[in-house]
Amino acid sequence: MEIILDKHSANQASVKIKLNEADYQPKVDAKLKDYAKKANIKGFRPGKAPVSMVKRMYGSSVLVDEINSILSASLNEYLKTQTFRILGDPLPVLEDADKIDWNEQKEFEFQYKIGFVEEVPVNLEDSMEATAYSIEMDDKEVDNTIDNLRSQYGKMTNPESSEENDFLYGDLKALDGSFEKTFSLPLSKVDGRALKKFLGLKKGDAVEIDPSKTIKEGLAGILDISEEEASQLTGKFEFTVQNINRTELADLNQEFFDKLFGEGQVDSEEALRSKVRDIMSENYNKELKVYSDEKIKEQLVANTKLDLPEDFLKEWLIKANDGKVTSDQVEKEYPVYANQLAWTIISNEIAKNNEIQAEHEDVIEKTKDMIREQFASSGLGAQLENSMDMFVDNYLKGNDGQNYMQMLTSVQNDKVLAFVKEKVQLKEEKISVDKFQELLAN
């Protein structure tokens, strides 16, 4: 057997494997003898058919199977000895496959394309800066959240006349008869300049409006029509009130507190505000941590400048997905895939160079945290903790063990990012909810 590596560029190469008869024939002969012992061929007692007959019947298929097995094992072992990092899987070159004469040929040559990265120059110098954001919750956000909760748990009423924030159920008709729709209009969506004409309305009252100017956002969704249809709703329309719906906010009493957080967990308006503030801060800070971590990843990927084999990876993605994606789809999604791949390579390099390893115990604890978060609002409490080992075991064994491997990778990423934050110039910054929304929008 001869294996030849031919590097075409800094990140792509071909591997040729030449096989002669001595490489495969002993295994083929052994397999055919084994077939002969078990074969049930008409005219012969089981296992008594001549090997020569079995060879004529099965020789080619056994030869193909054994050569494929030898190729796979030899290629994998050869690539393990290389210093570069293989990406994706080797792609067989099939141009000459139809020319192979499996009955007469004694020597075979096969070729594979591979993609790789030679070096991963990770730089964690002190000059690299990163920001760890945390939320600074203001009273306005807390007040709005409590009002929303009171609305969710409030009582629906049907007052005689409309007020701000009511819902008006009624009929919208174009004066020229071209459109008619019955729907519920939230007055919170009405433009402030037009709101006055909707206040003080009663059942049966009608107002003339131009929908495109009156409803300031989400007209298509409110009317449950397409954006194209909504864009044509201009001119004179009449809205006639059929009913007025209003939600009376729930009282700030013990019954409301218990519905939100469980019996006796909150016993005053002050305690409610504190609880809501803590929960909101925790949720925002989780999102901010994800945001901060992603920015660190982006910076590391940009600084490392990996030379990925783009053409090879695109071809591999198409073949690895077994025809389920098109070349156009791969072209569109490749930048996202390339960034994810680059981060995986960098993360693994940092872990290897600094002996960072995800332990089984870390995987268990991270899985427990994930399950607690998923069931946070279920009210199971102690019951969940009593059955936690069963939940963890079922999850980690799921998806043919892939869940465990994904969680293992997640734990290692967490450890790598924690290590990176210790090495770089990390500054902490408190920001408002509005500033956080600006960060996400950019």
pTM, entire model? 0.74
With a cut of 90, say whether residue 87 has pLDDT above it.
yes
pLDDT, residue 25, reads 92
Spatial contact of 379 and 261, defined as CB atoms under 8 Å apart: no
The mean pLDDT value for 340-357 works out to 93
Q: Which residues, 6+ apart, have CB-to-CB distance to 185 below 8 Å?
A: 167, 168, 169, 170, 198, 215, 222, 239
- Report residue 414's pLDDT band, with 50, 70 and 90 as the boundaries: very high
pLDDT, residue 126, reads 60
| Tokens, residue 25 | 């024939």
| Angle made by CA atoms 21, 22, 24, in degrees to the nearest 5 | 70
Q: Helices 310-320 and 327-353 meet at what angle, rounded to 10? A: 110
Q: What is the pLDDT of residues 128-177, one digit of tens each?
A: 888 999 999 999 999 999 999 999 999 999 999 999 999 999 999 999 99
The mean pLDDT value for 100-118 works out to 91
Q: What average pLDDT is seen over the chain? A: 90
Give the CA distances from residue 73 to residues 66, 70, 380, in Å, rounded to whole numbers and listed in that order.
Answer: 11, 5, 51
- Report residue 378's pLDDT band, with 50, 70 and 90 as the boundaries: low
Q: How far apart are CA 179 and CA 231, in angstroms?
A: 13
| Tokens, residue 72 | 């796979």
Q: What is the pLDDT of residues 21-47, one digit of tens each?
A: 999 999 988 888 887 777 667 666 666
With a cut of 90, say whether residue 187 has pLDDT above it.
yes
Question: What percent of the chain stands above pLDDT 90?
Answer: 70
Polymer length in residues for the chain = 442
What domains can you pick out in the chain, each with its CATH number? Answer: 2-117 (3.30.70.1050), 129-138+269-441 (1.10.3120), 155-248 (3.10.50)
